[in-house]
Structure 1
Amino acid sequence: MVRFSPEYEVAHEQVKNGAIGRAGVIRLRRSAVASAMNDADTCLFQQIGLREFDWLRGTFGEVERVMAREVKRETVHYALIMLRMAGGAIAHVELELSGSEVTEHTAYELTGDQGMLSHDSRESTPIRWSGGQLPLVTAFPEWDSTCLNAHDLRAALEIAAAARESVVTGQPVKLLHGGDEG
Structure 2
Amino acid sequence: MVKVAVVGDDEQHLKNWSKLQEAEVLSIVPVKSTTPGKIAFQINGGERVEDVEKLNVDVIDLCVPVEDRPELIRQFSKQGTHIICASPLASTLKEASSIITECKEKQVHLYVGNMRRYSPEYVDANNQIRNGNIGRAGVIRLSRGAPHPGGEKDIFSELGIDEFEWLLWTFGDVERVIAKHIKRKRRNGTQVEYALLSIRMIDKSFAHVALSWAKTENGTSFELTGDKGMITHNSTDSNPISLQVTASSQEDQLEEMILDKSVLQRQFAYVLDQAKNPNKPVNLAHDALKSMQLVDAARKSAQTGQPVSIKEARWSYESRDD
CA distance in structure 2 between the aligned counterparts of 1:55 and 1:146, rounded to whole angstroms: 21
CA distance in structure 2 between the aligned counterparts of 1:177 and 1:91, rounded to whole angstroms: 19
Provide structure 2 residue ranges, at least 5 long, that are not aligned to the other structure: 1-114, 186-190, 244-252, 255-260, 275-282, 315-322
Greater Rg by CA = 2
- Which residue in 1 is equivalent to 2:305? 170
The within-5 A match list for 1:14-29 is 14-29=128-143
The count of aligned residue pairs is: 168
- Residue number among 169, 172, 178 corresponding to 1:61 in the alignment: 172
SS of residue matched to 1:109: strand
| Deviation of the 1:81 alpha carbon | 0.6
The within-5 A match list for 1:22-171 is 22-36=136-150, 39=151, 41-74=152-185, 75-98=191-214, 101-125=215-239, 129=253, 140=265, 141-144=268-271, 149-171=284-306
| Deviation of the 1:146 alpha carbon | 8.7
CA distance in structure 2 between the aligned counterparts of 1:33 and 1:26, rounded to whole angstroms: 24
Q: In angstroms, what is the RMSD of aligned CA positions?
A: 2.6
SS of residue matched to 2:294: helix
| Deviation of the 1:22 alpha carbon | 0.3
SS of residue matched to 1:114: coil
SS of residue matched to 2:149: coil
| Deviation of the 1:177 alpha carbon | 9.5
Percent of pairs with identical residues? 43
CA distance in structure 2 between the aligned counterparts of 1:67 and 1:3, rounded to whole angstroms: 25
CA distance in structure 1 between the aligned counterparts of 2:298 and 2:118, rounded to whole angstroms: 24
> What letter is aligned with 1:176?
K
CA distance in structure 1 between the aligned counterparts of 2:199 and 2:193, rounded to whole angstroms: 20
TM-score, scaled to structure 1: 0.84
- Which residue in 2 is equivalent to 1:133? none
- Which residue in 2 is equivalent to 1:11? 125
Provide structure 1 residue ranges, at least 5 long, that are not aligned to the other structure: 131-136
